[in-house]
Every structure is written in C-alpha cells, then in structure tokens.
Amino acid sequence: MNDTRIQRSSLQSEVCNRLRQEIIDGVWRPGTRLQERLLCERYGISRSPLRESYQSLVAEGLIEVTPNRGAVVTAPTPEKTMQNFELLRALEVLAVRLACRSAKEDDLRGIADLDEQMRDTMARNDIHDFLKLNNAVHRAIVLASGNEPLADVHLVTSRQIIRVQNLDGPLTHRASEGMHQHDEIIAALVARDEERAVRLFEEHLDTVEENLRSRLREFEPA
C-alpha cells in the first residue's frame, strides 16, 4: 500500500496541492463531504494545515465550507463549466498568438517532444495518459507565450475544465483526430505561422468543446 503521508516541510502548501489534485483527478467526487479525521489520517497531518488549505480551495471554487456540513467538494454546473471554457479558449488562443511571435526555440522543441509522447500513448491505446499529455501540450503552449499573468489565470481556469473531463473516467475520445490536429498546430507553431496556428487551434478547441459538452450531458437529469 502506498504511503500517503506528507513528509515535506511546507505543509500547508503541500496539503493544498495534494487535495486540489485529488479533487481534479476525481478521487473526491462533487458533493463529497471532506471529513477532517479521514484526511488527516490519509496525509499524516494535524487539522491546522488542512483547514488552512481549505481557504485556497474555496477561492478556486473547488470546495465550499458551511457551518453545518464543513468542507464539501463543489459540483460544477454546465453553465459555469462552459463559462470557464469560454475563458480558457480566449486565453489559449492568445497564447498561441504570443508563442508564434516570441516563443524560445527550446520551448517549441519541448512542445514537439510532448506531441511525440502523445503519439506513443495513442499507439498503446492509453487514453488516460493521452489526455494527460494533451493537457500538458496546451499548458506548454501557454507557458511558451511568455506571459506570466496569462499563465496564472490559465492554470486556475484549466483545473475547472480538467476536473469535469475526469469525472467517471476519461471520455471516449477520437485520439487519431486529436493527434492529427496537434501535429498540424505544432507544425504551424514551429514555422511561426500565426494565422494558420490560430485557425487550427480554434478548430481543435471546437473538438475539445464537443467532448466537454458530451461529458456534461451525462450529468443532466433524466
């Protein structure tokens, strides 16, 4: 059995990072009440750093804390999710433009390397790692833009989308289509062909949106 206790000194930050990632990964489902005793035992910590971490997660919209129930994982609504996706689209399209103009060559090579890793996961039919690397490519493009405020907002916004994508396991995803789209986008990025890269990326985001809406329909009342 894996040891889930936290050993590092920056306890509050590490607790927050661990709990945030578990919420995004779907370990703690929407509506779940986070029991302090259970989490303290899981991480090997006292209640103080856990309660301090709640403040950050409330600000990010991942949990809510009420007097009667304590900390509860929030349930993403279709409306809020699509609002976050609209913001994500705007941020990522801007990032593509900026990356075409000013990305370092090392950054572009790093994005191409992630693309190759995606290809390997597709060959293994490993949809979990494929989607994880897909998100990593998007994040790498944002970082390649060189715009730190953009990257900060993107990090928080993307978490809201990824957690919906992770609910009840990965969506049935047209991996070959996504792979082809990524190949073309990266080729345009490397060539610094801004208009082509933006057009291709917009088309790719249309596919992402279609998959996201499909996931949201699974949670509509019968």
DSSP 157-197: HHHHHHHHHHTTSPPP--HHHHHHHHHHHHHHHHTT-HHHH
Q: Indicate the SS3 state at residue 73.
A: strand
Distance CA(146)–CA(186), nearest Å, equals 17
Query: Residues 176, 220: contact at Cβ < 8 Å?
Result: no
pLDDT in tens, 112-156: 999 999 989 888 888 888 888 989 999 999 999 999 999 999 999
Q: 15 φ, ψ to 5°?
A: -60, -45
Q: 104 φ, ψ to 5°?
A: -75, 150
pLDDT of residue 114: 94
H helices of the chain, in order, are 11-25, 36-43, 47-59, 78-102, 105-123, 127-144, 148-166, 175-190, 194-217
pLDDT in tens, 29-40: 999 999 999 999
**Run of H or E residues at 6:** none
Query: Residues 43, 82: contact at Cβ < 8 Å?
Result: no
pLDDT of residue 125: 83
Q: 65 φ, ψ to 5°?
A: -120, 125
Strand partners, 64: 72
Instruction: List, for the chain, all residue ranges whose pLDDT scores fall below the cut of 50.
Output: 222
Distance CA(116)–CA(13), nearest Å, equals 33
Distance CA(204)–CA(216), nearest Å, equals 19
pTM of the model: 0.86
pLDDT of residue 11: 87
Based on its alpha-carbon atoms, the radius of gyration of the chain, rounded to whole angstroms, reads 19
Distance CA(8)–CA(21), nearest Å, equals 17
